Chain A
Amino acid sequence: MTVTLGDPVVEELRGILGHDHVLTGKADRLNRTRVPAPFPVHRWAERMPDLVVLPSSTEEVAEVLRLAHAHRIPVVPRDGGTGLTDGAVPLRGGIVVDVKRINQIKEIDLENRTCTVGTGINALKLNEVLSRHGLLYPDDPASYPCSLVGGRIGTSGWSLIGSRYGHTRDLVLSFDHVLPTGRVIHVGDGIGRKITKSSSGYQLKHLFMGHQGTLGIATEATLKLFPKPEAEFSPFWAFDDYDTAYRTVGQLARAGVATFAGAVLFDEWKVAYLRRDDEAYIPQPASVKALVCAALYGYEDEVRAGGGRLMRIARSMGARYLGDEISQGDWAARHDRYATPLHGRTRSGQVVPMSWHCEDAAINYTNLPAVRLAWHEIADRLRRASDVFDDWGMFAYTNGATGADYLTEIDIGIWEQRLDDAAWAAWVAAKRDLAAVALAHGGSISACHGSCREGEVDLVPEELGGGFDVMLAIKRAIDPHNIMNPGKYLLDRAYSDAYPDPDGAP
């Protein structure tokens, strides 16, 4: 149910934040609902918050939440708004807490190699400052130029070079977190702050990461820093068939090269798409059906040695190295390419404006080929049913240096100008089917984006089993009035009569 905010609340908020930082205009609200996730644009107006606040400190966020808690007003945190799950989209109106103004660099600790920042800062901007000290915060999502640290915490994001440095959950040491009641806690390993490993108590840091804004708002974070790499090597290899490329990427990952930062596998649909519609793609002979890239980061001498080993492995598998220029260019374009595909094609070949949507899952290496085929079948079904959809192929990204599991994503083009209820329903059904395939193959619905969108969210209880009941119990304990991002992750069930017995009866 949508809560309409009365004037007294608006005035109270203005008292907390100042007049200019409480926004009630239509455009202000519309622009705080938009994310790059699949979005029923024809029903955009249904996702509007009642107002937007722009706090500048932890204390202001806490006061806003105390007020919202007292008045039972829904609150949705918004950071970069670049998430591919609907975390930042309000479903019940209420207040959007946009943290972009909390973007100060509070401390750079050169001795302990940490920095403490407001969560409204972006890794690119932070690294502009850190580079003067020869340091790097290596959280490198596709949205690196515009995602914010707080959003990375709220979604527990993925880093493209995570095999070398870890993903967001590893890189964020601790953070200030405002609970739905307005209480501020600091979570990390044990005492948190700059400690990287502790066995004290429950591991609360992980609980407050990836909750998609359902458990509160992170406002100030302490991050782990690394020496700015002296060298980067990012070879791209071409293959005549997917199977060889797949076996090669496994070999590269399992080689255990210390500077190995990640590998990416492009399947034949992806190569066909790039060949067809990506101007930046450097034309390859028609025989090229799949691509693999690897990235290594570190000191010059160790990267050269590690790179040599990976080159030998790839060559022994029959890979064709695409040369330094193509390799460096393609890797350098890794962020921009994500947002590039703004056009797709209808079945008759007509170029139309399309948006890029990707569905991801965590899949063990051994199950990648089977999941890939099943997913393309689902995409093909969508495409046969409607010109609204286009299949843009798949990527698989290594998670860690062991090569055990992969972020695998299928990219679907959606012609948003033609979205209607029928197309939207087909899309939601397809997402549910994609998630079901991941679970059937022992995977997880999401390796990186979260899984609280329409469609796949239906299967979350199945994936988590008894863990989902624990999730419900935690949600109710921490957010007694369900004000934080209500409607997400099926967590409304925590407040219904059907809520599981707290004594554990089924």
Chain B
Amino acid sequence: MPDPEKRFAEEWRDAAYNCFSSGHKFCREVCPVMQVTRNESWSPTAFHANVVAMEQGSLEVSDVAADYVNCTGCGACELRCPNSLFTGDFYRFRTRTVDLVKGVRSLAVRQGVHQPGWQRWNELTAERTHEPVADGVSQERVRDWAQGLDLTVGGETILFVDCEAAFYRPSVPRSVARVLELAGYKFGLMNEQWCCGGPAAEMGYEDQARRFAEHNLADWRAAGVRRVLVLDPHDYITFTEDYPKYFGESFDIEVVLVVELLAALIREGRLVPHLPVERTVTYHDPCRLNKRKGIWQEPREVLRAIPGLTFHDVDRVSQWSYCSGAGGGLAVEKPELTAKISEMRMGKAAELGVDTLVTACPWAERPLTAAGEARSIGVVDLHELLAESLGVAP
């Protein structure tokens, strides 16, 4: 076995055996990929079992790298894992399938095993310092979304806008900016904003991810930034999990999730949604908020503050099995699978008899909107909905 694989198998050995030993596969029916493909090779437990097989010399990373594409990084498997549910603190062990998948992907890239879609995506991202989410994406256009809003650059607090929102859904950051201004909350724009590097890290291109992170942090530091506002759940994960890993204790930037901030501003009475929005809605929990960060109450607080809405919620545990399919680079490498997962998610919304699915994740919005068309269910961003009710829609 090549050395890097050996080291990898050693690092993940106990975790892999813990999953292997547990035997039951409670993760399976909540895994979005598994739900639509029913292919056990792509189940979270198989991702661990493969490590046992690697250790035994039965598999090499080139045998399995393509299997590890089939994960959206939603984290449902970790929540549903009895190992995480019960034994976490006692043994200081928690099942970390999402990290394992990232680890295998990065091992594959280090070994020169590439997935064609991901390789192209990361080359383009490196070239443009932004992900190729729309035609003509470039560094010069990174702040186009803020045109006419009269926002300053820099300051103690800045708003970080992800590639998908900045280029593909500019009305989302515009809504956020206008709502924050209405509340009198001071913030600026980033000086030279590169991709956060999170997607590169998820696809296994670790060096690129780190390079982007280093650029962004240096840029923040040079501008005296102390606090970064984040509207995209994926960025939130990157800044709160990846960046501290890269920079250790020297990472001294406060990361604030916009949805949490908005809920607080509503609670304090600094924002009072008053224009009725007559829609029957349900809410799609972004995986990286609900499942990976335990943030599910604040988006609902925001929704419940909007007059006119009829809100049909489902219980949070059921939502562990929901996903848009857009995360973890799946949409880049296997768009047909993302579409199936979005269709399944939209089917759950349709069962509730709603006309609108509210999201809080720019990345989820694109495939969910496509899936919604077939069922005449509209998809609306939570921040935009709030802006509408506050009378500041962009």
Contact = CB atoms under 8 A, between A and B. Distances in A.
A214 to B, nearest CB: 22
A338 B81 CA distance: 11
A80 B24 CA distance: 9
Contact of B59 (A27, A54, A132): A27
B40 interface: yes
A356 B49 contact: no
A143 to B, nearest CB: 5
A338 B49 CA distance: 19
A282 interface: no
Contact of B83 (A124, A333, A342, A416): A342
A385 interface: no
Interface string B25-65: 11111000000001111010010011011001011000110
Interface hub of A36, A42, A277, A278 (most chain B Cβ within 10 A):
A36
B41 A340 contact: no
A34 B26 contact: no
A324 B249 CA distance: 45
Contact of B86 (A100, A142, A279): A279
B321 to A, nearest CB: 9
B25 A122 contact: no
A54 B39 contact: yes
A54 B29 CA distance: 17
Nearest to A351: B91
Interface string B60-90: 0001100100000000000010110111111
A333 B52 CA distance: 28
B21 A30 contact: no
A108 B39 CA distance: 26
A58 to B, nearest CB: 16
Interface in A38-75: 41-42, 44-45, 54
Given A278-B86, A336-B85, A27 B26 contact: no
Nearest to A357: B23
A365 to B, nearest CB: 29
Q: Is the interface of B mostly helix, strand, loop or mixed?
A: helix
Contacts of B43: 31
A12 B63 CA distance: 24
Sort chain A's interface into a size bin: 35 or more
A164 interface: no
A142 B82 CA distance: 12
A23 B37 CA distance: 13
A82 B86 contact: no
Contact of B40 (A25, A81, A145, A339): A81
A351 B70 CA distance: 34
Contact of A36 (B24, B27, B58, B351): B24
B21 A355 contact: yes
A284 interface: no
A32 B46 CA distance: 9
Interface of A: 23, 25-28, 30-32, 34-37, 41-42, 44-45, 54, 80-82, 98, 100-101, 103, 120, 122, 124-125, 128, 132, 142-143, 145-146, 277-280, 333, 335-340, 342-343, 351, 353-356, 414, 416-417
11 contacts: A25-B63, A30-B50, A34-B20, A44-B53, A145-B29, A145-B80, A337-B82, A342-B18, A343-B87, A414-B21, A416-B17
Interface of B: 13-14, 17-18, 20-29, 38-41, 43, 46, 49-50, 52-53, 56, 58-59, 63-64, 67, 80, 82-83, 85-91, 318, 351
